[in-house]
Amino acid sequence: MPKDLIGSVMVVGGGIAGMQSALDLADSGYYVYLVEKGPSIGGAMSQLDKTFPTNDCAM
């Protein structure tokens, strides 16, 4: 392993995209810093009511 290679990733933004990236990376053996400016993750998707096609609650 090259000495200066760092096995961690910073993900900026905790919406659905940031969360999915963070999960994939963590599950693949990389340390993740998920940075979100609000008090909780979820982003715009958590404000939606239901989503197509299943009408599942967006939560």
What residues make contact with another protein under the rule CB under 8 A?
1-2, 5-31, 33, 38-57, 59
Give dist(CA 41, CA 13) in Å, integer.
8
State the minimum distance, in angstroms, from the CB of residue 45 to another protein. Answer: 6
User: Residue holding tokens 């940031």?
Assistant: 18
State the minimum distance, in angstroms, from the CB of residue 3 to another protein. Answer: 10
Give dist(CA 1, CA 50) in Å, integer.
46
